Structure 1
Amino acid sequence: MSISLTEAAARHVSRYLTRRGHGIGVRLGVKTTGCSGLAYKLEYVDELAPEDVVFEDRGVKVMVDPKSLAYIDGTQLDFVREGLNEGFKFLNPNERDRCGCGESFRI
């Protein structure tokens, strides 16, 4: 089981945590929503939850709850800039389909 980050994602998370002045990493998970069924959720973490599964890549900790891990195992988190937009991109080998708006996915 693994979750990884590109260099760009690790750099962005590290810079943000430094600017915040606190935090230990990010929590990656999924929630039921949207037209395809699942959507990613990402938040900065200040302390571990007892159930967290912790991955570390490029010096950044990524926490995942056990229920989400089945859906996102093998995912690589990237940070991209496209024109005026920037944000995280999820490269999930388990995805089978995405909705037209890009907000949700199906396994």
Structure 2
Amino acid sequence: MSRPAIMTMSDNAADRVREIVGRADPPIAGLRVGIKKGGCAGMEYTMDAVTDPDPKDEIVEASGARVFVDKAAVLFLLGCRMDYEVTKFRSGFTFQNPNQVSACGCGESVELKAAAE
């Protein structure tokens, strides 16, 4: 029996990840999603190019896109849905995260709680 994915990606997010990976020079294996301490709410999402995957990372795949989830972020990202949105004023990845307790007013940082396993 397979376990559910740590997080999911929307079609828009998968399209953007495939585009970034496809244009990367030098080539990359995918993007790594993580979290770090920072911002006025306490934590920020991070995204980095992955050239050499860490075998301890969780892998999320959707529609041919591959995202690596940093092992230190797994409990904070359980049940999270990654999206990519384009508005009149900004474009970027967004996260709908059931573990989010609050967010700062500028939208750059969040307060997260670890999910119960």
Same fold flag (TM > 0.5): yes
* 1:6 paired residue number: 10
Q: TM-score, normalised to structure 2's length?
A: 0.83
* 1:29 paired residue number: 34
List alignment gaps of at least 5 residues for structure 1.
Answer: none
1:24-103 aligned within 5 A: 24-103=29-108
Q: TM-score, normalised to structure 1's length?
A: 0.90
Q: CA RMSD in A?
A: 1.4
The one-letter amino acid of 1:52's match is D
Tell me the percent identity. 32
Q: Distance in 1 between matches of 2:105 and 2:43?
A: 13
The one-letter amino acid of 1:44's match is A
The one-letter amino acid of 1:34's match is G
Task: Quote the offset at 1:50 in angstroms.
Answer: 3.2
Moved more, 48-57 or 7-16: 48-57
Task: Quote the offset at 1:48 in angstroms.
Answer: 0.5
Structure 1 residue ranges (4+ consecutive) displaced by more than 4 angstroms after TM superposition: none
Q: Alignment partner for residue 17 of structure 1, among 8, 21, 39?
A: 21
List alignment gaps of at least 5 residues for structure 2.
Answer: 113-117
